[in-house]
Each structure stands twice: as C-alpha cells, then as structure tokens.
Structure 1
Amino acid sequence: MNVKNKKCIFRLSYRSLRAAKKRNIIAVIAIILTTILFTSLFTIALSLNDSYQTYSFRQMGGYSHGTFKDVTDEQADKLITHSKIKAYGKRTCIGSIKSDYFGQISGEVSYMDENCSKWSYATPTTGRNPENSDEIAMDTTALKLLGTKAKLGTKIKLTYTVRDNKSKTFEKTDYFKLTGYYDYNSLMPVHYINVSKKYTENIIKEAKNNGLDDFRTDLNVMLKSSHNIEKQMEQIDKDFGYDWQTRDEKNSVRIGVNWGYTSEKVAENTDPVTLVGIVAFLILVIFTGYLIIYNIFQISVTNDIHFYGLIKTIGVTPHQLRRIIYIHALLLCAIGIPIGLFIGYFSGVTLFPAIISQTTLGTESTSISISPLIFVISILFSLLTVLMSCLRPGFIASKISPVEAVKYTDNSNTKKKKKHTRGAKVYQMAFTNLGRNKLSTFLVVISLSLSVVLLNTLFFFVNGIDMNRFVSRSVCSDFIVSTKSYFRYEIDGEHCISDKDIRRITANTDNRLTGCGYFLPSTDVVGWVDKKTYINMCKGTFSQKELQQNLNSIRKKRDKVASDPLIEGIDIKLLNKVKVISGSISPLKDKKQHNIAISVMTDDYGNPQNMGIYPKVGDKFTMSYIDDAYFIDNRTGKKVTDDTPEKYMEYYIAKEHEVTYTVCALVNVPYSMGFRYGSVTGYNVVMSTDSLKNDSRQKISPLFYMLDSKNKKAEIRTENYLKNITSAPSSSLSFESKAKVRQGFDSFKNMFILLGGLLCAVIGIIGILNFVNAVLTGIMSRKHEFAMLKSIGMTNRQLRRMLIYESLFYSVSSSVVSLITSVIFAVLTKRLFENIFWFFNGHFVILPVLLVAPVFIILSCIIPMLMYGNTEKQSVVDTLRDFV
C-alpha cells in the first residue's frame, strides 16, 4: 500500500532525524561552513562593487544616473514627465573660483536643489542648505582654503568669476553667512560652493544686464533602472524630439552618462570569456560545498539504510523515501543556513577593510554592501548545494530492496573475488576496503587535492608577478613631479609646473639626473598627412558618417589633409629613457637639423600596434605652426564680437610657418613621461626641447619635471621632501615615484594572497572535514564487519593499522593527484596569466605540494585513531546482536 499522509511522512522524518543527534551536528556544521563560504564571498564581491562605484561616483562628482545638459526651464519641465525618470534634481552653475589658494581643484558656485546636493555628496552634515540670498554652504576644506573656520553663522567673503554659457565673465564679490558644511573627499573633482536659488536668480539678472547670456542649468536624473543608461536617455530625448548630438540649437539637449555604474559597464563590456569565467568560478564554489555535504548525507543513508528497508515493508514508496531525506536536509538547512548567514556576513564585513586597503580604491571609497541580494543568493546557493548533495543518497535509499537493506554495507564493488589460501595482509585489506565505494574514494581524493592545487596555482601566480617589469612600465624614473592637472589629464597653459618650483625642488634634493618634458600651451599645430593615412588613424573612433564630415570640414593642401599632432619636447639627457623601435634618436640631438621621432602605440607587452599608419624612418613630415589666428564672422570677414552667433563663427589663420622634418626614429615614449594620452587624429611627435622652442618660435611650458636620485638614502629623503611640499591642500603640485608604485604593487599582490589564501583555507578545511567524514563513514558502516573480524581473532591494534593504511592511501593519492594536476594547471595557466597580466613571468613551482604532503600524512595517522577510539566502547557481542 502507499502511505500518502504527508504529516505522517514529516513526523517520521523528524523523529528519525532526532534519533541521530551527533550526525546532525556534523551535518549542520557542514551546512554552516558552506553558507559561510557563499555569504562571505558574496559580501566581499558586492562590497567591492559598491566601493568601486563609490570611487567612480566621487571622481565624477555624483551618483545620479545621468544628466541632461544645458536645458531650458521649458525643456526641463517636459523631460521630468517622462515615465523612465524616477527622480530629478536641478543645478544652475553661475561661476567658479580658480585662484591660487584653491590649488588645482577649483570651486564651483552654484544652486543645487535637495536631490542634486544629495546625489553630489554636497548635503551639509552640519546645518542646512542655503535658503536666503545671503546664505552659503560648502565643504570644510574649501572653508579652510578661504581662511574661515567651520562654524555655523560665520561671515564669509567670496570673490568668484561669474561665467555664462558663452564663457563671458565678470568678477563678483559678496558676503555670506555659513548655514551648512560637510567634509570634503579628495576624490571629488571640484569644491561645490552652494548658494540659494534666490541669490542665483539675482546674479543671472545682474549678468544679463551686463551683456551676458543664459547660464548653464543641468537636469540630473535617476532612472527606474541603471541598465543601459545611455540608451534610455537617448530614448527620452527622441520621445520629446530633442537631439543629443548638436549644440546651441533649439532642439539640442545633450546627455551625460554616469559611467561609474558597473551595470552600465557590464552591459557595454560583457564578453563570452568573462561569462565563462564567472560561471566556472561559481561551479567551483558550489562543487566545494557539494564535496562535504554529499558525504554527510552519504553517512546518513549508510547508517539508516536498515531503517529505510524496514519502512519500505510497511508501504513507504521510493518517492516518499526521497522526500524523507529531503525533509532531513531542509530541517538541517533551517538550522545551519541562518547561522551561516550571520557568521558569513560578519566575516565578510570584518575581512573587507583589509582587502580594500590592498587595492587602488583606498579607504575613502570603502562601502560595505547591505544588499538583500547577499542573503538571497547565499540562501539559494546553499539550498542548491544541499539538495544536489541529496540526489545520489536519495536514489540509493529509494532503489534498495528491504532484503538488500539488511545486508547493505556501502559496498559498490560487486565483482566476485578469487579465492586463495594466502593469509590476508592488513594493508591488502585496507586497499580492498577502498575499492568498495570507488566514488566516495574518488571524491575524498579530489576534495583533498583541490585545495592543494588551488594553493599551488596561487603560489605559481604570486611568484610569477614580476615587480621590475611592473615598476618599469608604470614609472621610468625615481620621481616625476608636475601639477595635479597633469596627473588628471587636464593639460593647459595656465596650470603648469613653474620654473620656480623646479629650481626649489632641485635645490632641496640630491640627484644624478634631472630634466623636463615640454609642450606648446597656446600654439595650434597642423601635421600634413595623406587622406588614406588620416582615414586609417580615425578607424574605430569615428563612424563612416562622422569621418566623412571631418574630411569635408578640415583644411587641405594639395594631396594632404590637416591632422592634429601632439608635440613633446624632451631634454636631451632624458632621451635615453625612450625605447627605440627602429632608427636612431641620436639625430634629435643635432640642433642644426630638423629631426623628429614618432611615438607609436604599443600593447601591454611593448609590441608595436597598427604600424601601417606611421611614416617610415627617413620619411619627410611637414608641420605648420600657427603664429596668429582668430575667429571671424563669415558674413563680414571681420573678427567676431560678443553678439556674433556661433554658427557664423569661422576659424581664420592670419599667419603661420612651415617646418619639414626628417623622421629619424619610431619610438615608444614611456607612459609616465608623455602626455599620458594620444591624439585621435594625429601623431605623437617627439623632438628635443631646443628644437621645439626654435621651430615653433613660441613660448614652451614644462609638462613635468623628472629626477633620479643618487642613491637609496637620497631617494628616501626626496620622497619625504616631496610628500611635505605637496601635502598642503593649497599646493598645486603632485608627484609619482617608484616607491609609490612598489607600494601599489605590493598591495595588488597582497590582495591576491589574502583572497586566494582565504579561499584555499576554506577549501582545505572542507577537504580535511571530507576526509574525516570518509573515515567516519567507513567505521560506522562497518561496525558489524569489525565485530566479526575481532570475533575471529583480529586485534584492535590491527584494525587501527588497517584504517591508518586506508587514510595513508587517501593522503598519498591526493599528493600524487595534486602534483600531476598542478603541473597540468601550470602549463595551461601560464599562457593565460601572461595574456591577462602583462607583468606576469611564470616559473613552475611544486613547493606547496611538497609542504602539504607531510601534513596529510600526519593527519592520516591521527584521525583514524581518534575516530576508531569511539567504537571500542561497545562490546563485540552487543555489536553483533544489533545486526541480527
């Protein structure tokens, strides 16, 4: 008959579960450990994601999904009604402060509504936002730079430049009362100085009376989804008939996308290789949990198989038997998973600060995730792992007949053995016992081997990271000093390192080599190339339509078109730091000749790329230096005035001179001693400082100042000196050094050691517990067999030896498998690591395998003795009686 009463099945399952308290404790511990693994990993992963986003948001100035730029009130009122927009905030910028005491981080005077100030990290933590026309709020660093204390009600004198959309300006000085302030984060691109809406309206009226135009108002928005932000905003523009690709037209509404959102980056950059890697990692984690939980339930089935056989005789169906096992599992999960979630989240939160401190994100962007996804995903993964682990034990219990259940000993090897008269050896018995359940033996060996293989792979990776290659690629001298603008890729003639700063640094440091790179801050230069070369330069950057528009609008001279070269002058004594790909840089030192080198693009390994677009050594290359140029009104041919509409403005070159150069070399200029970016439509040209000055006939400005110390002590002194002079908030200088790069390298390396070591430790613990479970399974399922052996004269000492031999087989087999697998992994991953990490230079290692093998052997001797000691308490007669 079929027992269909679900309550009866649940009661039967619950009571049978209560009867095996010790085994349940082991099962709950296994589930807790698996849940801790999942929860801590997801906590760390999501916290890293949140911290990376916070880091990016602060660099971009806020965390709104996107911005509709330069909108009118009418356009803003329409846009905010769109169904895709969940919330919005307005910001009207009326001016800025770029005086010396603000260093290179300018202050922007603007009105922000409540949402905008919140999304821009500019909501006062003390006080409130400005409401009246004489009120102001700003960060504490800006207050310090203005010489004012952070105290509510303090009077502040503020002088700033009022600036409209057309960059028309006038100076304005006003007095305010401080109503709110907050701490400044060094990642922020500007100091937000917030005034009231009423004050902003008054300034705009005053500005228009002085002949200025409209002011910039940006509409920041939060969409209903952060997926494909750019496409959503383009669709919003389309729905209202606006064009995001034009400017200053009636229907122009440009858009800005917050690329800090990782969901946006994933949508843009997800590729099959990344997805395969993520899936492979998740499978590895699930398999790790499966290895331990599977053996736990295998123990349960082994011990309760006689019970399952008996209840089958009273009508319990195979389906109901499987349900009993699943109810066991779910009841244990109800205990183990909540505990694992708590410990796992606490572990992740505790470990995360140590992990993020080893990254370039730093502690200022630390953000501990409290997303419910951590717990939902961890619960689902833990349940999935447990239920998967129940499949085979449930299958065994449901398929076995009542008669077979009475005789079941977890023996999957049913081959008939040959009889012989030789006496049995203990080690032979041990080897034979391992063949009883080959799957269980295989899983234990794999479980133990997995942690060793991962440890060896981690050691192989960390040992292969080449510091010298990493440092030489990142910085080519002991120190590079320049303005903060240079390191932020904002190079202009107004913010350059001064000759005075260079002399001061030189006088206070002990160096064996110094020099500068120079650029033209206020001179336009045209490089003449053929049309085919220009098209090849632009491939991948412009669409076919945009490329054709460029070709129609740019200057032409006979069969040549105008390109936009980036020209750098380098002091002769620094030229040896430039890597020559072909030709020679010696001619650059000849002041009488017009020679240049062309810097080519290279991959991470220094291999030249797209060489077809570059001239060959010995070719001629002509450049035109613009001596005098301005905008004219193409209707009148005269210089433009403030009233000239932009569409009638035309760039007019009044005077220029040409210089024809010989390309003497193709080179690779180190990233740290160049512009740090390339021209999309032109070559990066290198020449000597004297040639740049003489040929351009213009003033040149220092791009950076580079120095190499005489010795290690001098390097340390210089490091401390530069830290001292650049640490002040008002300082416009910053620097890079080999010491900083080494520190970053060590942090990067330590992050892998920490994360990889934790993963290896968890998997190692699981492997050892799985080993303990296998030994325990063997002992518990063979109590009757051991009693029979003892009844015919086998001693406890011989039984313990047999179990030790079985354990030694596990440890030796695991070590051999680990060694073989580690060799295979090293061969397979060497090329992979070298392709992913340009600074990797792999060397085969087996040290972790050799160190772990003795540990396994020691455990193989200790664990069986401890496990078997618990079975000696029951007499042979009582054990045999239990199985009659």
Structure 2
Amino acid sequence: MLENNNQRIIRKMAKRSMQGNTRRNSILIASIALSAFMLITVLTVGITYFKAQRDQTIRMYGGVHDAVLMAPSGEQIEKCRNDSRIEEAGLTVKCASAESNGVDDSLHTTFIWSDGTYWDVQKRPALKWIKGEYPKQENELMISMGALKECGSENGKIGDRLTLTYGDKNGKHKKEFIISGIYEDYSGETAAYVSEKFYRTTGHKPSDVTAGVMYLSFSRALFTDKQLDTFREELNLGKQQRLLYTGITEHSLSVFLGILGLVFVTCVCSYLLVYNILYLSVTNNIRYYGLLQTVGMTERQIHKMLYRQMFLLGGAGIVLGLAVGSGTAFIIIPGIVKTIGIRGGAVSVSFHPLVYAAAVLVSCLTIYFGSRKPAKIAGRISPVEAVRYTAPGGGRKKRRTGKGSIAGRMARTNLLKDRKRSAIVILSLTLSVSIFICVITIIQSQGARTMVSNFMDFDLELSNDTLGKEDESQYRQIFDKDFITALDESKGIREIYPLYLDEITVPWEPDFAEIWMREEYATWMDYPYAEARDEYKKNPDKFYSYITGIDEMLFDRLKETLSQPVDKEAFMTGEVCILYRNDLSLTEKDIEGKTLTFYLKKTGEEGSVTLPIGGMTDENYYSPYAGLAPVIIVSQQFLHRLNPEAYIQKLGILYQEEYDESAEAQALGIAEESPYSTDIESSSKIESMKRVKESQGNMMEFGLGIVLILALIGIMNYVNTVCSSIQNRLGELAVLESIGMTERQMKKMLVQEGLLFAGSSLLLSSTVGIGVTYVIYQSVNYMDVGFYFPLIPVLGVYVLVILVCICVPLLLYHYSIRGKSAVERLRESQG
C-alpha cells in the first residue's frame, strides 16, 4: 500500500480517538499513574525503612563500624590506619573495672579509654544524647546513665564527685572522680570513658587480650566472602586475636541481592499492571484500526498513531503518578508515622533522584514494550480480518457440555479463552500478594518482640552477684526457699528455672587437663602456660573453676547447642558431663574417650569425682563465670548429691503471659524487698524490647506504610484490570443477555471468574510466593533473627483478595450497564 502524506490527519485522528474513548483512556492513565505511584512510594519509603534499619543496627552495635579487631598489635593498628579500604579506624582499651562504691561491692562498670576517631566519629551516632566533654584529666569520667544508676548516682550531674574502688592490671585502687560528661545509649551499657592520662596509669595496652579493641569502618559497602577472607589473612591474626565482621558487612552481598530482588519484583508488578491494560485497550479496538487502513493508513502510520496516543496518555499518567506518589511518600506517610509513632522527633523521608529516574524509565519502557505487540497486530491485520477479529483464544472449538452450572462452565471457559490475558492477571495478582507477604514477613520478623527473644526465652532473669566476688566469705544464698516461694505464689509467674553453681578444683593430670590448660593459656593469657604449669601441679586450688547444675528443661535446650548427642538419662543420673568450651579451638575429637577429674572446693580431694566428657557447648548461659580450668555442666540432681547446699546463681522466670508488665513488677518487687537487693542483677525481656523499639526509631511505622501501599496497589491493580476487562467485554455480555442469560446468572459467572482468579493467585502465593519470601528473607537477614511467618496478617490479606475478586466485578458490571439496554451496550462496544 502506498503511504499517504497525512501526518496532520493522523494527529487529529489520534486526538479524536483519545477523546472518543474517555473511559478506556481514563483506565489506561490510571494504570500508568498507579505504576509510577507504586515505584515512587514503595522505593522511597523502602529506602527510608532500610536507612532506619541501618540506624537501628548502629544503635544496637553501639557505634558506626563494619568490623572489630580484638587485641590489635601496633603493626596492625598502623596498617589499618593506612589502608585505603578503611575509612575510619577507632581504638579503645578496657583498662579498668569498678568494683565498689562503698555501698555496693558487686559493680559491673567498665572503664574505657577511647581515641578521638572512635568517640567523635564512630560512637556519637549511636548515642541518644550526650552532655559535657570527653575527659582530659586523670580523675575525670564521661559516664553512661546505666553506670551512674549502678554506682548509686542516678541523679548525678556534670561536676559531681564519685568515689569508686576499681581494679586494673596493677591492682586495686580507690579514687575520687569528677563527672566531666554524661551520655545515654540505646543498650543501657554500664561504662565510663576515661582520659589518656588515666589509661596510661593502668598498665593495659591495646594488644592485651580482652582489653584492646579496634573498630573498622570500610570505605565501601559491598564485599564478597573472598574479599573478607583476604582482608583477614592480610592482618596475620595471632591465636589470641579475633576479627569479627558485623552482620550487615558479612552478608552485604546477599543483602544487596535480596533488596535488588525486591526492587525487581516491584518493577515487574509495575510492568504487568500497565501491560495488561495496554494489551486489552489495543486488541479490543482492532476493528477501528482495520477501518483506518481502508482510508489509506499504512502499518507504519498506525504504529505512529498508537505510539503517539500511548505516550501522550503515558506522559499524563506518569506525571500524575509522580505527583501523587511524592505527596504520599513525603507528606501522607510521615504524617501517619508521626500520628501513630511512639517516639518523638522529626520524621524524615529519604529523597533519592534515582528513584524518580527509575520510576520514569520503568514506566516508559512498560508503555513502549506493552504497546509493541498490540501495535503490530493492529498494523498488520487487513481490513477484512479486522472485521472478523476476535481476541486470542476466541476461535470456535468443539467442547463437551460438561458438568456443573452454566455460569460455572462459562467462567472456566472465559478464563481459558484468552490464556495470555488470564495468565497476566493471575501473575500480577500473585506478585502483588507475594511481595506483600515478603515485606510484611521481613518487617514482622524484625519487630522488637521477635528480636529480643534470648536463648532460653525467659521473660526475666535474676542473677546472684555475690558469687562473682573474690572474697568467698561474701557469698550469699540470695535465692533461698523463701525467695523462690514468694515468686511461686505470684499470680503472673508460671515457671521458675534455677541454675545451680559451685566452685571446683580440677587437679593436674597429663591427659585432658594438660590439653585444656595449654589451650586456655594460649587463647586468653598474656604469658605462656609453661610459666604456670609447675604452680598448677603443686597448687591446683589456685586454678579454680565452676560446676553448674541444670534441670531437664535446661538440658533439652543445651542439647540443641551440641554437635554430637548426649544421652539424657546418663546425664541426669550423673554418668556424664558437658564442658563449656570458652571459645577455645578444641574439637569433639579432642574430648573423645576423655574423662575429667574434679572435686568441690568445699570437700577437698577426698570428694574427687571422675566423669566421662560427653560434649562441649559454646552457649555462655551455662557458664556465668569462667575459670582457668574447665567449667563443668552436670545435672541438678547430681550436683545436689555432691553438695545439697549449692548456690543458685540465677533464676530463669517465665510469665503466664509473655511481656506481662504486672508480673514483672511483682518479681522485681520481691527482689527489691530482699536484704541483698543491691546484689541482684536483673535482665528483662520487656526492657530489652523497649530498648530495641527505641533503637528502631520510626522504622516499623515506615514498614507499615510500605505494607499498606502494597495492599492498596494490589487491590487497585486488580480493580483496574477487571474494569478494563468488563469495559472490553460489554458487547459479549450484551449478547449473552440477549440470548436469555439472566442478570443473576451473569453475576454468578462474574463471581466465579473472580474466585478462579483469586484461587489461582493465592495458590501460587502460598507455594512459590512463600518459598521465594523465605529465600529473600534469609538473604537480607544479616542480624540472624529467626524467621517468623505473620499468619494473621497474611490470612487477612487472603480474605481481602477473595472479597475484592468477588465484589469488584459485580460493582463494575452494575456500573457499566446502569440505564443502558443490551442493544445500546452492543452498539457501544462495536462503535
């Protein structure tokens, strides 16, 4: 066909075609706007969420760093500070520890010296607030609120004096300190930062085991396992050194790929949202394009006209979507967050130009690729074929009548008639539901309640601090029968699990005791075992350790940490013991067939006991204190046979209802009434949860915003698709009505179509979707939080999807036929 020079006419026809199909074009603009809206809001609020999560990580780790190097040597310090891969390298030294304030002699406050890099650059972002200045004089302290409270000066202020007894490498000292600064962090740490002058008097240095720590912040964000291993090798770590990467550094690549996967799925959802509408819009107007060819339009000109229409409509949709998306992301969501958030302060949303660029690019690509195939169909079809054109899959086929109602059979037929359209609708709905499940799973699993679950999952732990004192005469059985009875009688307390403790001596012997002590000194001591061996042989009592006694429940949890099984009955009857490994590099082969001989300090050598070693654990719950010799774990019954008066070191308490504040108030009230209240340390899941919530800021509210946006978009996606589908099927529905199909049958057919769409998408979401959710969750789970599937919200969404799939077709059908006869609707569909 010869091409006519009718560009002006093409522009006019494109304009008139747009004006003549207002409803269809409105649906198309709404789809494109919804696509751009989805990308803008989800990506903007998503970036804000992950930024808040990063802030939470900084607050929980206590500083901005990517790796921690323990006991760094001078050479390693210099190397790290000159390494181009490292942006900041801060140094701290734990140089002393407070022991007494004159009233309480079981303090836990640590004295730390910090260089300027760590304190000013890495530590400050992790603090709630700070007052005063970092110490310069030998007697000055920058003290945490937790340490102030422990030292009995909760209401202390800058300039106040504090007299403390502390211990360092040179022994014990008593000193009056002046508070030069006060700070509060999110973890409730009990620490006091000291001046360099004070640090130089303690005898400690950065290379001391358990004293020196170097905090490294890398200049890049992504690392492969190989790169991290290479950096570790370059440091030439000694046996006593550890290089620990933060969770997000160690899993940086998998986290990035997981986030990239979420972004990709979001873009696919956006693409499908528009593609289906474009496809229906063009293919259902084929007759019109065939008629255009009869007046001289070529295939190329039809392509131009279609692309002109699509990009005009697309431009309007993109602008509308960007405007509404920006308003939602930067005004509505922050407003909601500020309204429902429990924390004060400004609510800021992260702005990134790339988000807008991505939204425009994805929308334009969607319009282009979504228009290509329909445009080819419209351009290549002849006028005669156009008149007879039906949607794909609409050809006549012989079918058996089948069983079931007419409406049900027709619903199934319509679903299969245009398989491509049906597949796109189901896939689009499946992706919307799946990404909702994925995001809400990530958010719920990162919730404060999920994150604070400790190893034993106790609601409250109470510890007897007198057992940590050097003077054995100060040991007290704080948790006596009366104390435990008072807890038992409290209404909100369900169960109490005691952990018993006693001091033991492990005498020297050339087999396992020798192996253990050699490894212990090589790992934790700053002088060789050879210098202590003779003393250990002569006076083993100086190298004391501990034995802990546990009940059946504690043993069941202990079994989960063992690399090889231990017979429960043998353990409970005292025929085998388990050791706390204490981070030594001993393996199961080292204990195979070994026995351990020990005796209680109270009974002496006459009460020696020899037990086979069944296994080793790294869980420090079972080892409140570490000795030089092995810490032995036995059954509670066996320890009572050795010493019926063994001390209870800690109590693990479970409430009738988790996070029951009234039950906690009762338990802590009983502890406060004890004559040894200052020697009782508490660890509360409720308090931990509150600290996590504080560290999260408004992270969870922004996460809720993402979930609500995704739910809204999923619903609007289906509404738009069904709206376009019914609009394009008005002629077909009018024909069915004209041959006797009642309105009730019509509605029943639409309902069953909706249920088929809902059932198919929910089946895929519940299988493939949940599987993908688990994979993505594990890839972004750098904090190793247990996978938590939010059953109630997911079931709620499933019910909502079913309701939408039932109600939307009925409402749209009712709106489309309102006040119009079957003849009028048939005429409109062909016009």
> TM-score band, normalised by the shorter chain?
0.5 to 0.7
State whether structure 2 residue 686 is matched by structure 1 residue 686.
no
CA distance in 2, matches of 1:837, 1:113: 37
State whether structure 2 residue 380 is matched by structure 1 residue 437.
no
State whether structure 2 residue 499 is matched by structure 1 residue 517.
yes
| Structure 2 equivalent of residue 329 of structure 1 | 314
| Structure 2 equivalent of residue 224 of structure 1 | 219
CA distance in 2, matches of 1:473, 1:125: 27
Deviation at 1:106, TM superposition (A): 1.3
CA, structure 1 residues 318+492, in 2 after alignment: closer, same or farther (shift >3 Å)?
Answer: farther
| Structure 1 equivalent of residue 560 of structure 2 | none
| Structure 1 equivalent of residue 65 of structure 2 | 64
| Structure 1 equivalent of residue 325 of structure 2 | 340
State whether structure 2 residue 15 is matched by structure 1 residue 26.
no
Give the AA of the match of 1:568.
I
CA distance in 1, matches of 2:285, 2:433: 34
CA distance in 2, matches of 1:79, 1:140: 32
CA RMSD, 1 decimal? 7.1
State whether structure 2 residue 292 is matched by structure 1 residue 313.
no
Is the Cα contact below 8 Å between 1:483 and 1:497 reproduced in 2?
no
CA distance in 1, matches of 2:228, 2:805: 60
CA, structure 1 residues 677+519, in 2 after alignment: closer, same or farther (shift >3 Å)?
Answer: closer
CA, structure 1 residues 692+294, in 2 after alignment: closer, same or farther (shift >3 Å)?
Answer: same
State whether structure 2 residue 378 is matched by structure 1 residue 411.
no
Give the AA of the match of 2:811.
I
SS of 2:487 mapped into structure 1: coil
CA distance in 1, matches of 2:567, 2:175: 54
Which residues in structure 2 correspond to 1:726-745 (within 5 Å)? Answer: 733-735=680-682
| Structure 2 equivalent of residue 808 of structure 1 | 751
Q: 2:111 aligns with which of 76, 100, 108?
A: 108
CA distance in 2, matches of 1:483, 1:39: 55
State whether structure 2 residue 810 is matched by structure 1 residue 861.
yes
CA distance in 1, matches of 2:311, 2:432: 29
State whether structure 2 residue 312 is matched by structure 1 residue 301.
no
Q: 1:265 aligns with which of 222, 246, 251?
A: 251
Deviation at 1:336, TM superposition (A): 0.9
CA, structure 1 residues 417+125, in 2 after alignment: closer, same or farther (shift >3 Å)?
Answer: closer
Deviation at 1:128, TM superposition (A): 5.0
Could you give the per-residue CA deviations for residues 411-452 of structure 1, whole angstroms, max 9, x where no partner exists? Answer: 223635689xxxxx9999888766663322343355567778
| Structure 2 equivalent of residue 193 of structure 1 | 193
Is the Cα contact below 8 Å between 1:484 and 1:734 reproduced in 2?
yes
State whether structure 2 residue 714 is matched by structure 1 residue 721.
no
Could you give the per-residue CA deviations for residues 722-749 of structure 1, whole angstroms, max 9, x where no partner exists? Answer: 3447799x966454689999999xxxxx
Which residues in structure 2 correspond to 1:141-180 (within 5 Å)? Answer: 142=147, 145=151, 147=153, 154-159=158-163, 166=169, 170-175=173-178, 178=180
CA, structure 1 residues 449+7, in 2 after alignment: closer, same or farther (shift >3 Å)?
Answer: same
Deviation at 1:522, TM superposition (A): 8.1
**TM-score normalised by length of structure 2:** 0.65
CA distance in 2, matches of 1:215, 1:428: 79
Give the AA of the match of 1:866.
Y
| Structure 1 equivalent of residue 98 of structure 2 | 97
Give the AA of the match of 2:161.
K
| Structure 2 equivalent of residue 391 of structure 1 | 369
| Structure 2 equivalent of residue 561 of structure 1 | none
CA, structure 1 residues 243+74, in 2 after alignment: closer, same or farther (shift >3 Å)?
Answer: closer
Which residues in structure 2 correspond to 1:580-619 (within 5 Å)? Answer: 581-584=567-570, 587-588=573-574, 595-598=575-578
| Structure 2 equivalent of residue 641 of structure 1 | none
Give the AA of the match of 2:111.
E
Deviation at 1:864, TM superposition (A): 0.5
SS of 1:120 mapped into structure 2: helix
CA distance in 1, matches of 2:442, 2:161: 58
CA, structure 1 residues 509+299, in 2 after alignment: closer, same or farther (shift >3 Å)?
Answer: same
Is the Cα contact below 8 Å between 1:30 and 1:293 reproduced in 2?
yes
SS of 1:316 mapped into structure 2: helix
SS of 1:517 mapped into structure 2: strand
| Structure 2 equivalent of residue 499 of structure 1 | 476
Is the Cα contact below 8 Å between 1:519 and 1:702 reproduced in 2?
yes
Deviation at 1:119, TM superposition (A): 1.8
Is the Cα contact below 8 Å between 2:92 and 2:112 reproduced in 1?
no
CA distance in 1, matches of 2:83, 2:23: 62
Give the AA of the match of 1:263.
T
Deviation at 1:587, TM superposition (A): 3.8
CA distance in 1, matches of 2:237, 2:807: 70
SS of 1:121 mapped into structure 2: helix
Highest RCO, 1 vs 2 (Cα 8 Å, sep ≥ 6)? 2
CA distance in 2, matches of 1:225, 1:734: 41
CA, structure 1 residues 781+128, in 2 after alignment: closer, same or farther (shift >3 Å)?
Answer: same
Deviation at 1:764, TM superposition (A): 6.4
Give the AA of the match of 1:147.
S
Is the Cα contact below 8 Å between 1:44 and 1:352 reproduced in 2?
no
CA distance in 1, matches of 2:466, 2:12: 73
CA, structure 1 residues 412+812, in 2 after alignment: closer, same or farther (shift >3 Å)?
Answer: same
| Structure 2 equivalent of residue 569 of structure 1 | 548
CA distance in 2, matches of 1:853, 1:552: 75
Deviation at 1:187, TM superposition (A): 0.5
Is the Cα contact below 8 Å between 1:292 and 1:766 reproduced in 2?
no
Gaps in structure 2 of 5+ consecutive residues? 400-405, 444-450, 537-542, 557-565, 582-586, 692-697, 779-784
Could you give the per-residue CA deviations for residues 331-370 of structure 1, whole angstroms, max 9, x where no partner exists? Answer: 522331342244246676578799999xxxxx89x99885
CA, structure 1 residues 397+528, in 2 after alignment: closer, same or farther (shift >3 Å)?
Answer: farther
Could you give the per-residue CA deviations for residues 29-70 of structure 1, whole angstroms, max 9, x where no partner exists? Answer: 434544555555556655554455444434443213456677
Is the Cα contact below 8 Å between 1:819 and 1:846 reproduced in 2?
no
CA distance in 1, matches of 2:297, 2:795: 55
CA distance in 2, matches of 1:86, 1:55: 21
Give the AA of the match of 1:121.
R
CA distance in 1, matches of 2:706, 2:819: 32
State whether structure 2 residue 96 is matched by structure 1 residue 83.
no
Which residues in structure 2 correspond to 1:417-432 (within 5 Å)? Answer: none
CA, structure 1 residues 302+551, in 2 after alignment: closer, same or farther (shift >3 Å)?
Answer: farther
Is the Cα contact below 8 Å between 1:35 and 1:379 reproduced in 2?
no
Deviation at 1:807, TM superposition (A): 1.7
Which residues in structure 2 correspond to 1:134-145 (within 5 Å)? Answer: 137-140=142-145, 142=147, 145=151
Could you give the per-residue CA deviations for residues 116-173 of structure 1, whole angstroms, max 9, x where no partner exists? Answer: 234212889566535864876544555565638566xx53224456877x55564433
CA distance in 2, matches of 1:754, 1:192: 34
CA distance in 1, matches of 2:473, 2:280: 73
Is the Cα contact below 8 Å between 1:95 and 1:163 reproduced in 2?
yes
SS of 1:298 mapped into structure 2: helix
Identity across matched positions, percent: 15
Instruction: Name which of structure 1's ranges 755-764 and 574-583 shifts more when overlaid on structure 2.
Output: 755-764
